[in-house]
Amino acid sequence: MNAANILGAAQLESRRGRSDPYLAFRQELFDEGLLVPTGVDGLYLRAERFEEIVRGLDVLVSLAGRAEASATYHFPLVMSRALLDRTDYVRSFPDLLGTVQSFAGDDRAHAELLRTVEEGGEWVAHLEPTDIALCSAACHPLYPSQSGPLPFGGRTVEVYGQCFRHEPSVDPARMQAFRQHEFVYLGTPEGARRHRDLWVERALSLHRSLGLEVEAVVANDPFFGRSGRMLAANQRDEALKIEIVSPICSSESPTAITSANCHEDHFGLEFDIVADDGAVAHTACVGFGVERVTLALLHTHGLRKESWPPSVRNVLGL
Amino acid sequence: MNAANILGAAQLESRRGRSDPYLAFRQELFDEGLLVPTGVDGLYLRAERFEEIVRGLDVLVSLAGRAEASATYHFPLVMSRALLDRTDYVRSFPDLLGTVQSFAGDDRAHAELLRTVEEGGEWVAHLEPTDIALCSAACHPLYPSQSGPLPFGGRTVEVYGQCFRHEPSVDPARMQAFRQHEFVYLGTPEGARRHRDLWVERALSLHRSLGLEVEAVVANDPFFGRSGRMLAANQRDEALKIEIVSPICSSESPTAITSANCHEDHFGLEFDIVADDGAVAHTACVGFGVERVTLALLHTHGLRKESWPPSVRNVLGL
């Protein structure tokens, strides 16, 4: 079953065309009212019919891992700006980060701000930095709260996080604000590797139970610039990052919908997290890209849940 | 039933003390693990036990209004920056807004950025404005999509929105990032007033069914500066904004947990929204402050749901 039953011939033709598969699928999502454009590429209002799928998926992901999790936390899209520095994000991904500025002036400064607004000038020049940044990765806000010794066997925490990446794109799967449903492990190097490998298998099964065509591939993060190329090569050589990819806009270039990563002692060192053997903790996480899995389902089964296979609707409670 | 059954004597004493009721209640929420501090006042990680209440509340609010709503949308915490200007937010609330900056340079500029980071300098000086802002009010991202003629009788839209206000505070009810569950009406002046008045009554009933002590009061938005005082006085004179207040940290100064507002033609004019009689549309909204209602429930019934009145647990599905 696929989108064919609800698409007109012209829409299907445009979707099959290789010229712009991203624009074509995005337009279908707009036409169907699942996403509403905001005038900024990569920022959308989401319809209730989109969120229904998200809620079903969240329940499924939780069930798959909650038994091991000692706590479950929900994070906002903003965090302390200091974390961008402490996690090395400003070094590795400066082009994706977001920091927040606001106005801190008096009545007179306000009058100047308004003059610039009236003149159509760049009024943000009147603003000042705050100590807040957009959240760079769902698990980053967790680490400061994990400082100190871990219990025997380590700790697993479930995280409903929100992330920002400044990468305006017409690809509907490349949103600037999106959610990650994660399970983060903190403990020994072996525990971290086990958590990661276990979740690659679990995530493959979970996605296949939803009728998705998936594959696990070694991947790298989009480290910035010349120095970043070495970091990316190292990450691949060590197979630290495994992505689960599935077709969303294109079968030739499937999209990462879930990612499972070993961070080695990167966060353990910076945040003084100590494993049960007294060594610096290693960490690992699996992150389900909630919007991307939802889009993969819509691509695979069609834009209306009424046409989805009953088994998939059933497992998602739709 | 109240928090007494789970608080130690010292905690109760500190909570009764008038010196710092906000700090005291916040500490109780931290101690109980319902909120986790992030190092930034007004930004917290939320525990699953907090979100359970939020989910129950969302179902209840939806049931109260969804019959009238022709659509339901979910908004992210970020939006197009142009909206800050178009909604007059930059004029009226510059101190509360947030705009987003990011890095747009090359390898050389990146090296300079990193030098400033290493030296502990103000590295955000190396960033540039983006076209993205933090969402100023849950309903703001809705209006651009509503341009044009409205159907007969107007339109009601349900919105799950996220808001940002740059107002760091130790008051746990004054978060910098929070959610509003809204019903927005667009149509005639009479329709807007009716929507607002209907929702004041509905919200009072809904909150009372949850055992909350509530009261409706005429209020004003925190307009900035000298010129803002006039806007605030006008808003009060016209009784455009009604807040439903309930004790959270202090009985003497109850907190607004829900707000119902007439916007007159403020948004209709700017976004070319036209009522069924051909005139500029008036709009009105009711917004449930999801975190604040949750905190009012925790204050009123105690920090553990096990001690809550069965009727309240039942109505929230807890």
Residue type, B121: G
pLDDT in tens, A140-154: 999 999 999 999 999
Is A198 part of any domain? yes
A272 and A186 in a common domain: yes
Cβ contacts (< 8 Å) between B33 and chain A: which residues?
A: 71
Q: Do A104 and B95 touch (CB under 8 A)?
A: yes
Task: Check CB contact under 8 Å for B162 and A46.
Answer: no
How far is A104 from chain B, CA to nearest CA, in Å?
Answer: 6
Work out whether strand A44-47 and strand B71-74 pair parallel, antiparallel, or are unpaired. Answer: antiparallel
Is A95 in Cβ contact with B103 (below 8 Å)?
yes
From A80, which residue of chain B is nearest by alpha-carbon distance?
A: B40
Q: What is the nearest CA distance from A8 to chain B, expressed in angstroms?
A: 24
| CA-based end-to-end distance of chain B | 17
Residues B277 and B241 in one domain: yes
Residues A76 and A184 in one domain: yes
C-alpha to C-alpha distances, A205 to A183, A200, A216, A295, A311, nearest whole angstrom = 16, 9, 11, 18, 15
Is residue B238 within a helix (H) or strand (E), and if so which, with residue range? none
Instruction: Give the 3-state secondary structure of residue B147.
Output: coil
Of B37, B99, B158, the CB nearest to A127: B99
Give CA angle at A265 (A260, A266), nearest 5°: 80
Dihedral angle over CA of A294, A297, A303, A304, nearest 10? -100
Task: Find residue B264's DSSP bridge partners.
Answer: B283
Bridge partners (DSSP) of residue B148 are B273
SS3 call for A129: strand
Residue with tokens 């975190």: B291
Task: Examine the fold and report which residue of A115, A130, A145 is the final residue of a domain before the chain moves on.
Answer: A130
Task: Return d(Cα B317, Cα B36) in angstroms, integer.
Answer: 24
d(CA B210, CA B59): 13
pLDDT of residue B6: 40
Q: Does B302 touch chain A (CB under 8 A)?
A: no
Closest CB to A77 among B77, B82, B226:
B77
Q: Are residues B272 and B296 in the same domain?
A: yes
Q: How confident is the model at residue A19 (pLDDT cuts 50, 70, 90)?
A: low
Q: Which two tokens stand for residue A102?
A: 């606001």
Residue A37 has pLDDT above 80, yes or no: yes
* Per-residue pLDDT tens listing for chain B (318 residues): 333 334 444 444 444 544 689 999 999 999 999 999 999 999 999 999 999 999 999 999 999 998 999 999 999 999 999 999 999 999 999 999 999 999 999 999 999 999 999 999 999 999 999 999 999 999 999 999 999 999 999 999 999 999 999 999 999 999 999 999 999 999 999 999 999 999 999 999 999 999 999 999 999 999 999 889 999 999 999 999 999 999 999 888 999 999 999 999 999 999 999 999 999 999 999 999 999 999 999 999 999 999 999 999 999 999
Interface mutation target, options B112, B124, B134, chain A, most CBs of A under 10 Å = B124
Residue B18 within a domain:
no
- For B122, the closest chain A residue by CA position comes to A129
**Average pLDDT in the A173-197 region?**
98
- The model's pLDDT over A97-118, given as tens digits with 9 standing for 90+, comes to 999 999 999 999 999 999 999 9
CB-based contact, B73 to chain A, within 8 Å? yes
* Contacts B141 to A, Cβ<8 Å: 38, 45
What's the number of domains chain A is made of? 2
The answer, yes or no, to whether residue A7 has pLDDT greater than 50, is no
Among the partner-chain residues A40, A99, A226, the one whose CB lies closest to the CB of B107 is A226
Is A32 a domain residue?
no
Say yes or no for a CB contact (<8 Å) between B43 and A79: yes
A112 in the same domain as A58: no
Same domain, B154 and B72: yes
A14 belongs to a structural domain: no
Tell me if B45 and A141 make a contact (CB, 8 A cut-off): yes
CA distance B234 to chain A (A): 20
The reply to whether A53 and A124 lie within a common domain is no
Among A76, A111, A130, which residue terminates a domain? A130
| In chain A, beta strands by DSSP E | 35-37, 44-47, 71-74, 78-80, 99-102, 128-134, 148-149, 155-164, 177-187, 215-219, 241-246, 255-264, 273-274, 282-289
Sequential DSSP letters for B161-182: EEEE-----S-TTS-SEEEEEE
Q: Quote the domain boundaries for residue A303.
A: 48-95+136-316
Is B106 in the same domain as B227?
A: no
Domain boundary among A85, A107, A130: A130
- How far is the alpha carbon of B96 from chain A, nearest alpha carbon, in Å? 7
- Give the span between the Cα atoms of B97 and B88, in whole angstroms: 11
A74: in domain: yes
Which residues, other chains included, contact B271 with Cβ-Cβ below 8 Å and sequence gap of 6+? B86, B143, B144, B146, B147
- Which 147-166 residues of chain B touch chain A by CB within 8 A? 158, 160, 162, 164, 166
**B195 and B292 share one domain:** yes
- What's the pLDDT score for residue B106? 96
CB-nearest to A110 from B74, B82, B94 is B94
Asked if residue B190 and residue B119 are part of one domain, the reply reads no
Which residues in chain A (176-205) have CB-CB distances under 8 A to chain B?
176-177
Cross-chain Cβ contact A38/B144 below 8 Å: yes
Q: Does A118 touch chain B (CB under 8 A)?
A: no
- Split at pLDDT 50, 70, 90, the class of A95 is very high
Which residue in the set B45, B48, B50 is minimally distant from A75, CB to CB? B45
Q: Are residues B126 and B167 in the same domain?
A: no
By the 8 A CB rule, do A203 and A286 touch?
yes
Q: Terminal CA-to-CA distance of chain A, rounded, Å?
A: 17
Note whether B126 and B165 are same-domain residues.
Answer: no
Q: Which two tokens stand for residue A122?
A: 């760049």
Give me the CATH number covering residue B168. Answer: 3.30.930.10
Confidence of residue A5 (pLDDT cuts 50, 70, 90): very low
* Residue B248 domain flag: yes
Burial category of B110 from C-beta neighbours within 10 Å (exposed 0-12, middle 13-18, buried 19 and up): buried
Say if A305 falls within a structural domain.
yes
Q: Compute the distance between CA of residue B68 and CA of residue B157 in angstroms, rounded to an integer.
A: 8
Q: Using a CB-CB distance cutoff of 8 angstroms, which residues of chain B are in contact with residue A87?
A: none
The per-residue DSSP string of B255-278 comes to EEEEEEEEEETHHHHHTTEE-TTS
Q: What is the token pair recorded at B222?
A: 């925190």
Instruction: Tell me what pLDDT residue B259 has.
Output: 98
Q: Is residue A26 part of a domain?
A: no
Q: Is B243 helix (H, G, I), strand (E, B) or coil?
A: strand
Partner A, chain B 201-260, Cβ-Cβ below 8 Å = 224-227
Residues 41-60 of B with CB under 8 A from A: 43-48, 50-51
Tell me which residue in A51, A145, A160 faces B74 most closely, judged by beta carbons.
A51
pTM of the predicted model, to two decimals? Answer: 0.93
Around B246, how many Cα atoms within 13 Å sit in the side-chain half-sphere?
29
Rg, C-alpha atoms of chain B: 21
Give the count of Cβ contacts less than 8 A between chain A and B.
199
